Chain A
Amino acid sequence: MTMTRRDVLLGATAAAALLPLAARAQTSEVVIGATYPLSGSGAQVGVDAQRAFETAIDIINNDQDFELPLAKGVGLPGLGGAKIRIVYADTQGDPQKGRAEAERLITQEKVCAILGSYQSAVAVTISQICERYQIPFMSADNSSPSLHRRGLKYYFRASPHDEMFSAGMFDFLDAMKKKGAKAQTLALFHEDTIFGTDSANAQTKLATERGYKIVADIKYRANSPSLSAEVQQLKAANADVLMPSSYTTDGILLVKTMAELGYKPNAIVAQAAGFSEKALYDAVGDKLEGAITRGSFSLDLAAKRPMVGKINDLFKAKSGKDLNDNTSRQFMAMIIMADAINRAKSTDGEKIRDALAATEMPGDQTIMPWKRVKFDESGQNNDADPVLLQYVGGKFVTVFPSQAAVADAIWPMK
């Protein structure tokens, strides 16, 4: 049989048509959703989160030499080397928009899992939608303790919640008191959404249990144009320790207003959020020498675990910033979720959920100071130890707990 030009052409066309199909069957992709505020007052965190997820996906999808799950080799071996693709949705920091966007991700974009969402108030609605569609939701950076106490089957959180963080803060205060530091009276300063409220509730409970005196408990309206009345009350109370639970905007205004009204707190022990953000220290860092914030991450760890420094470099190349409390947890959430999907060998929501529930990741395979990642039946990881960081000379130094500390806390702050 002779081959005509037409046969060749036909064959080539057929092959060309089939090629992408075949390729697609081999390296299918896994779609994960990420719901973050990409506009509105929390947009900066959302934009940074995108860089954190991209860093994690780079490590998963390409062959990298790190002691992280899925770093070596290409893609997810459990799914024939499938690569991860992320789809972002903008919540604008609004619980109702978060709900609608989560539903769109699940029904239109066919995501098999969702990560989110910075504001705890938004995580409430997103996780409810995920529960209804049986799609796992992982809180990368939400810290309200009420989130994992709603009996949801598809809710997971690898990082500590505010009660664990607050307990860590009070352990630190106890230790300081034992050393003879002045830390008996507290002033709580918190914003009025679920994050600030839950944080203040946890702190009030712990303060009562451990015999501290709360001399001021100020709940303020988030994104206020002015905080001078609030700061006056803080100043009048003049507590030994000021404990703010504030997002970046209010945190900047708080520190500026304190300086303007001539109030110099004895010590600040902050519930992270704004107080882990570079933007806040860029704006008012000169007034925060010695401020302490709780955290779930510290770059100090790079000295003990070189991988942390290298991953920070990868992230910095994308974002121009160092990994912080939020971006490190977002990075880990993607790694943990990808690891579960890989073990589930499926993109089915229920199978991923079961794989997540069976997660057992040793701490040294993460970039965090955690013991390990293992979820209890409510989806919370109880082996994530918080650290306390002090802002000294333009960077953070771990000061507590003693096994992670690289320096003693400077008290009172200067």
Chain B
Amino acid sequence: MTAETIIQSLASGLLMGLLYGLIAVGLALIFGLMDVVNFAHGEFLMLAMYVTFFLFTFFAIDPLLSAPLAAAALFVLGAAVYLLIVRFAMRAKANVGMVQIFATFGLAIVMRGLAQLFFTADYRSVPNSWLGGKTVSVAGIYLPQPQLFGALVAIAAFGGLYLFINRTDFGRALEATREDPGAVALVGIDKNRVFALGWGLGGALVGLAGAIMATFFYIYPDVGASFALIAYVTVALGGFGSVFGAFAGGIVVGLVEATTALILPPSLKSVGIYAVYLLVVFIRPRGLFGSM
């Protein structure tokens, strides 16, 4: 094992980790806002990848340009899912937690099925985008441009999100609704509107991630599953509901995955992630940056 291999592993891990963080942050945001875990999060990602793919195939729009469009499409989807499904699931008289789990889980299966029906089970990919397949090489260390760009977008998105939550009226409304949904009604904040916008925002973030993923990953109806699993671990590791936690959790997951693969056979590389996750759960059950 040379120094070059180690640095390359850490660099790849860091880039992938930032992307994991970007995928997971929507999940963390929604959970933080209203204690609902979106089990269709992976399917949101899948849909964003298809949006990017179709915009590229039919209108020749490069993923770099269509990323805002994918984010917008997913914003609408996220808000619609809240208004049409989750809002009603939360009104359940008993077992609200179960009802919302099954509602979003069912949504995931429906979305996967519809994707296979309309988009077929074929594996797609965006063959030649501006960044796809291009690489920056620094002293023998290779940094793929799509992941590099993804990492920059992730950092920018987290920065923007931080300013948004802390510096705008809507951000403050979001924070207030999360602290006490009942009380905000008294000062004239429409809880449903805030929640819908929160879901929209969560969708838009995963939409951004999907657009970047489409430049270097294959696309098919089940593609969300393996990323969703990592997103759940990322969120739990970083602390449920903490946006900054998702950012840090993503980086930790990416780095741990890369270093495990250096030491153990690659087929066991996810073992490292789950080992760290277990450790955190035992020592600090609320996650690294969780506040509950």
Contact: A260 with B144, CB < 8 Å? yes
Residues of B252-289 at the interface with A, using a CB-CB cut-off of 8 Å, are 257-258, 261-262, 265-270
Interface code B106-146, partner A: CB below 8 Å = 1, 0 otherwise?
A: 00000011001000111111011000010101000010101
Contact: B222 with A279, CB < 8 Å? no
| Nearest A residue to B260, CB-CB | A229
Contact: A248 with B123, CB < 8 Å? yes
Looking at A174-182, A218-226, A338-346, the stretch in contact with chain B turns out to be A218-226
Task: Given A225-B227, A229-B12, A283-B127, answer yes or no on A220-B267 (Cβ-Cβ < 8 Å).
Answer: yes
Residues of B15-72 at the interface with A, using a CB-CB cut-off of 8 Å, are 16
Task: Given A260-B133, A262-B135, answer yes or no on A229-B262 (Cβ-Cβ < 8 Å).
Answer: yes
B35 CB, nearest partner CB in chain A, Å: 27
B192 on interface, CB distance cutoff 8 Å: no
B199 on interface, CB distance cutoff 8 Å: no
A190 CB, nearest partner CB in chain B, Å: 9
| Nearest B residue to A274, CB-CB | B123
Task: Given A47-B120, A248-B123, A283-B123, answer yes or no on A41-B269 (Cβ-Cβ < 8 Å).
Answer: no
Contact: B5 with A44, CB < 8 Å? no
Residues of A351-409 at the interface with B, using a CB-CB cut-off of 8 Å, are none
Contact: A228 with B258, CB < 8 Å? yes
B249 on interface, CB distance cutoff 8 Å: no
Contact: A252 with B125, CB < 8 Å? yes
Bound complex: CA of A406 vs CA of B234, how far in Å? 53
B220 on interface, CB distance cutoff 8 Å: yes
A244 on interface, CB distance cutoff 8 Å: no
B284 CB, nearest partner CB in chain A, Å: 25
Contact: A262 with B142, CB < 8 Å? yes
Contact: B226 with A44, CB < 8 Å? no
Task: Given A43-B222, A283-B127, answer yes or no on A260-B266 (Cβ-Cβ < 8 Å).
Answer: no
Task: Given A232-B5, A261-B142, answer yes or no on A226-B257 (Cβ-Cβ < 8 Å).
Answer: yes
A230 on interface, CB distance cutoff 8 Å: yes
| Nearest A residue to B9, CB-CB | A229
A30 on interface, CB distance cutoff 8 Å: no
Q: A218 contacts which chain B residues (CB < 8 A)?
A: 265-266
Contact: B226 with A225, CB < 8 Å? yes
| Nearest B residue to A191, CB-CB | B267
Contact: A219 with B262, CB < 8 Å? no
B216 on interface, CB distance cutoff 8 Å: yes
Range class of the B interface residue count: 35 or more
B218 on interface, CB distance cutoff 8 Å: yes
Bound complex: CA of A100 vs CA of B67, how far in Å? 43
Bound complex: CA of A376 vs CA of B36, how far in Å? 58
Contact: A253 with B217, CB < 8 Å? yes
A136 on interface, CB distance cutoff 8 Å: no
B230 on interface, CB distance cutoff 8 Å: yes
Bound complex: CA of A40 vs CA of B124, how far in Å? 15
B181 on interface, CB distance cutoff 8 Å: no
Bound complex: CA of A219 vs CA of B265, how far in Å? 7
B233 CB, nearest partner CB in chain A, Å: 12
Contact: B133 with A259, CB < 8 Å? yes
Q: A256 contacts which chain B residues (CB < 8 A)?
A: 133, 216-217
Question: Among B221, B257, B265, which residue has the most Cβ atoms of chain A within 10 A?
Answer: B265
Contact: A230 with B261, CB < 8 Å? yes
| Nearest A residue to B134, CB-CB | A260
Task: Given A232-B9, A256-B133, A283-B123, answer yes or no on A221-B269 (Cβ-Cβ < 8 Å).
Answer: yes
A282 on interface, CB distance cutoff 8 Å: yes
Q: A219 contacts which chain B residues (CB < 8 A)?
A: 265-267
Q: A39 contacts which chain B residues (CB < 8 A)?
A: 112-113, 116, 121, 221-222
A-B contacts, 7 of them at CB < 8 A, read: A218-B266, A220-B267, A224-B226, A225-B16, A279-B218, A283-B125, A286-B127
Show the binding face of A for B, using Cβ within 8 Å. 38-41, 43-44, 46-47, 192, 218-221, 223-226, 228-230, 232-233, 236, 248-249, 252-253, 256, 259-262, 277, 279-280, 282-284, 286-287
Q: Nearest 8 pairs between A and B by C-beta?
A: A229-B261, A43-B121, A260-B144, A283-B125, A279-B123, A228-B12, A44-B121, A192-B267
